[in-house]
């Protein structure tokens, strides 16, 4: 059973004078007092970053300075249940355009859905102007659950958006709906002509992959250029998936989880179902996974070829060691802090940064010594 792993107390190995020595994990608390921070993005030049807070605020922080007041010019956010302000990413041409992208829950007439837009960040990083919505999940079906909301640009400049199934299981297999899908757009929100279902009259042309439950982690593999994604299972069955064009990742017909009642998912046909793609990794006992980041920096060679994933319920930072596309081992970090890890990013300095999902949310910096 590959989900069972021992608790590892060391963060890696260092080599000195031909002897193997333990490398100790060093954790520095950089910020506190944020209200359920959800995502962060590093800004070039000044060493600062943007941080989203789920109630709808975007903040700017620079080392050695206090956290900014909320940035002006934000869209109206549906901040109920799991809804709120989610991801923030910089445009590939940010240095010229100053454009940033945001994902968030947006209210409809009755229910809510995930929306994505972009605006121009002022030179002092304190105001967003000319905000434009480029994508709205259709139809809006969420009463406050399963929004997804991660954003990733690939090497060609296409924007991938992860969308939860709004706790409406069958919609993840319904190609006429955005629920339970990953969609692919141009940076301006147009539909790329090579999307897999663009000529299918019975499918939404934005769809890139389907069969997802609540994908709250997504990252670009720096070695292959392929998008990886992770998602919450129900009770058990949390997954890491390698996203491929037009693929069906199974939810709810293929799952390793069960209902919270302890009963089988009504639509489920098992863990392996013909026509669906198996996860690259899964857990029988749900960590409740969130943000994720590949480690490809030179600062800590012991972490090379790693995938870091936040865990909410199990309150840890998970490190998966990779060999190509295969997960070879699993390690848990930060368990002694008893904090929900919402997002994780690798900074331009080679340190790992994590956000804790709390009313008194924290920004942590991790390294090895």
Tens digits of per-residue pLDDT, 100-145? 999 999 999 999 999 999 999 999 999 999 999 999 999 999 999 9
Tens digits of per-residue pLDDT, 5-42? 333 444 444 433 344 446 899 999 999 999 999 999 99
Kindly report the CATH number assigned to the domain that includes residue 363.
2.120.10.30
Q: Is the dihedral of CA 166, 172, 175, 181 positive or negative?
A: positive
For residue 45, what pLDDT band results from cuts at 50, 70 and 90?
confident
Range(s) of the domain holding residue 158: 28-368
Q: Is the dihedral of CA 146, 210, 313, 348 positive or negative?
A: negative
Q: Does a structural domain hold residue 281?
A: yes
Q: Does a structural domain hold residue 18?
A: no
Tens digits of per-residue pLDDT, 322-350? 999 999 999 999 999 999 999 999 999 99
**pLDDT of amino acid 22:** 61
pLDDT at 247 over 50: yes
Nearest Cα neighbor of 161 from 183, 192, 189 is: 183
DSSP letter assigned to residue 190: P
pLDDT at 290 over 60: yes
Q: Does a structural domain hold residue 108?
A: yes
Tens digits of per-residue pLDDT, 78-104? 999 999 999 999 999 999 999 999 999
- Percent pLDDT > 90 in the chain is 93
Q: Does a structural domain hold residue 301?
A: yes
Q: Does a structural domain hold residue 3?
A: no
The whole-model pTM stands at: 0.94
Q: Does a structural domain hold residue 248?
A: yes
Transcribe 301-351 into DSSP letters: GGGTTEEEEEETTTTEEEEEEEETTEEEEEEEESGGG---EEEEEE-TTS-
**pLDDT of amino acid 7:** 36
Mean pLDDT of the chain: 94
Q: Is 308 left (phi over 0), alpha (psi -120 to 50) or beta?
A: beta
Q: Does a structural domain hold residue 11?
A: no
Look at the chain and report how many structural domains it folds into. Answer: 1
What are the residue numbers of the active site? Answer: 146
């Amino acid at each position: 059973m590959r989900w069972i792993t021992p608790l590892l107390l060391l963060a890696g190995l260092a080599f000195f004078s031909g002897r193997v020595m333990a490398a100790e994990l060093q954790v520095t608390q950089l910020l506190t007092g944020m209200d359920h921070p959800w995502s962060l993005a590093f800004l070039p030049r000044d060493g600062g970053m943007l941080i989203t807070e789920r109630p709808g605020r975007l903040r700017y922080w620079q080392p050695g300075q206090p956290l900014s007041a909320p940035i002006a010019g934000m869209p109206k956010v549906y901040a109920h249940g799991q809804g709120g302000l989610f991801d923030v990413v910089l445009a590939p041409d940010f240095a010229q355009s100053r454009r940033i992208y945001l994902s968030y829950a947006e209210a409809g007439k009755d229910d809510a859905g995930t929306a994505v837009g972009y605006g121009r960040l002022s030179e002092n990083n304190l105001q967003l102007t000319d905000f434009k919505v480029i994508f709205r999940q259709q139809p809006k079906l969420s009463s406050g659950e399963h929004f997804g909301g991660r954003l990733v640009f690939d090497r060609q400049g296409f924007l991938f958006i992860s969308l939860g199934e709004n706790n409406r299981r069958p919609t993840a297999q319904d190609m006429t709906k955005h629920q339970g899908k990953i969609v692919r757009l141009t940076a301006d929100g147009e539909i790329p002509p090579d999307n897999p279902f663009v000529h299918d009259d019975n499918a939404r042309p934005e769809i890139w992959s389907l069969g997802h439950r609540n994908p709250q982690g997504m990252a670009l593999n720096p070695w292959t250029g392929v998008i990886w994604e992770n998602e919450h299972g129900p009770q058990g069955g949390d997954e890491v998936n390698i996203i491929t064009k037009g693929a069906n990742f199974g939810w709810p017909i293929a799952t390793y989880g069960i209902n919270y009642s302890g009963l089988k998912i009504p639509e489920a046909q098992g863990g392996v179902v013909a026509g669906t793609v198996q996860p690259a990794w899964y857990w029988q006992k749900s960590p409740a996974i969130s943000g994720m980041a590949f480690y490809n920096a030179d600062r800590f060679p012991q972490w090379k070829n790693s995938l870091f994933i936040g865990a909410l319920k199990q309150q840890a930072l998970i490190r998966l060691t990779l060999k190509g596309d295969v997960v070879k081992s699993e390690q848990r970090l930060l368990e002694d802090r008893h904090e929900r890890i919402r997002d994780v990013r690798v900074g331009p300095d080679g340190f790992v940064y994590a956000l804790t999902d709390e009313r008194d949310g924290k920004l942590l910096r991790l390294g090895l010594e």
